[in-house]
Amino acid sequence: MKNKIYLHLMNWAIILCSIIACGYPQVWAATGPGPEPSIYSAALDNPAFPSDTVDAQLKKLSAQAWFMIDAQTGRILSSKNPDQRMYPASMTKMMTCILACESGRLNETVTISREAAAVPYGNVARGEKYKLHDLLYRVMLPSDNGAAHAVGEFLANDSLGFAKLMNDKAKQLGMLHTHFVNAHGLPDNDHYTTARDMMKLVKYCMRNKIFAEIVSNPTRDITTLGGKTIHLKNTNKLFGRYDGCIGVKTGTTRAAGGCLASAVARDGMKIYLVLMKCEPARQRTDESIVLYNKGFDMLTEFNRQRQQRKRGSKSNGYFNSGSGSRDVRDVPRPKNHDLHHDEYMKQQQDVPARRH
């Protein structure tokens, strides 16, 4: 009897645990590839950068997440919460633009529909006609939501169809923690991404020459097919404030805060940065500059050390690591294969170690 009661209680305990496990509230954040510090900086791995100064400067930033890389090598320079699920706001339009750039329809005519003209924070008029290529400048520079909606309608007939194209492309790019429901980025609980995923999109988009040319413009004049000339100004304030800015896209909503995906090239170096949820939103420019300054300092130091290592390796086959008394020369193989190894090593003792 006691055994039956015990088994009965155990069964109920298992059922109760299952209910609790299934009903436990899920944290609204994408899981990353493994544990990672809240703020990471490659400078922390290099003794040339005192860790206390790196930490102090980066901890002052309001951004909830960022991801910064050396665009030429893919090396991560700095990150904070790169896998936290967040709203992308108008950084979404990078996906809209790249799908249009790859469509093969850039010279075709887009007519602004009633639905596109009614999208909040848009400035296109119903019935206006644009070449698709010109309309993309309106999408990417002033971040016109109505223009983005019109591009989606043009490429896929409706918003639902275009969202599928966006999500298929995201999956192709390995953006595993991203889901889109619209072409412009206005808030929706099912419209989300991460800083790491956005970087995958930035890297892919910037390899497209048409996309890269569009986002590199601080200003641009376009003309509708009705003959109306429109002056467009880029919302990316890095243009004019930070030398070498070459793109890419801002994003701002109350839910997303201030977001900025950007790219800077100078002195033979190139850095990409995705910054998310700055508060207040206008801080995204200043905080991006802080990160870029740190990033270029790191790359300059890394490149200097790389050159030193190259010079050190070109010394008749001998290399000194800078460790002082420790001889770290590689032992070359004897050319005469008949020479006994012990005899060969004895001869090497008479070869002086070279210092640099």
Query: Which pLDDT tens digit goes with each residue over 116-154?
Result: 999 999 999 999 999 999 999 999 999 999 999 999 999
pLDDT tens readout for residues 13-55 = 544 444 444 433 333 443 334 445 588 888 777 766 666 666 7
User: In angstroms, how far is CA 132 from the centroid of its own chain?
Assistant: 26
pLDDT tens readout for residues 219-240 = 999 999 999 999 999 999 999 9
> What is the pLDDT at residue 28?
41
pLDDT band per the 50, 70, 90 thresholds, residue 176: very high
| Confidence check: pLDDT of 338 > 60 | no
pLDDT band per the 50, 70, 90 thresholds, residue 307: confident
| Confidence check: pLDDT of 327 > 60 | no
> What is the pLDDT at residue 169?
98
Per-residue pLDDT, averaged over 184-189, amounts to: 96
| Confidence check: pLDDT of 105 > 70 | yes
- Give pairs for 228-233: CB < 8 Å, separation 24+: 228/128, 230/138, 232/137, 232/138, 232/141, 232/142, 233/141, 233/142
CATH superfamily of 59-305: DD-peptidase/beta-lactamase superfamily (3.40.710.10)
> What is the pLDDT at residue 91?
98
Per-residue pLDDT, averaged over 279-291, amounts to: 95
Rounded to the nearest integer, the mean pLDDT of the chain is 83
> What is the pLDDT at residue 25?
33
pLDDT band per the 50, 70, 90 thresholds, residue 309: confident
Tell me if the pTM is above 0.85: no
Per-residue pLDDT, averaged over 206-210, amounts to: 98
Choose among 54, 120, 95: nearest CA to 295.
Answer: 54
Q: 85, 193 in Cβ contact below 8 A? A: yes
| Confidence check: pLDDT of 161 > 60 | yes
Q: Report the catalytic residues.
A: 90, 93, 143
> What is the pLDDT at residue 328?
38
Q: Where are the domains of the chain?
A: 59-305
| Confidence check: pLDDT of 332 > 60 | no
Distances (CA, A) of 34 to 176, 224, 349: 15, 50, 48
Rg from Cα positions in the chain: 28
User: What does the alpha-carbon distance between residue 356 and residue 328 come to, in Å, rounded to a whole number?
Assistant: 13
Per DSSP, the three-state class of 2 is: helix
pLDDT tens readout for residues 72-104 = 999 999 999 999 999 999 999 999 999 999 999
Assign residue 89 a region (left: φ > 0; alpha: ψ between -120 and 50; beta: otherwise).
left
- Concatenate the DSSP letters of all residues of 124-162 into one string: --TT-EEEHHHHHHHHHSS--HHHHHHHHHHHHSSHHHH
> What is the pLDDT at residue 50?
67
% helix, strand, coil for the chain, step of 5:
40, 20, 40
| Confidence check: pLDDT of 336 > 90 | no
Q: 108, 200 in Cβ contact below 8 A? A: no
Among the residue ranges 54-63, 107-116, 128-137, the one predicted with the least confidence is 54-63
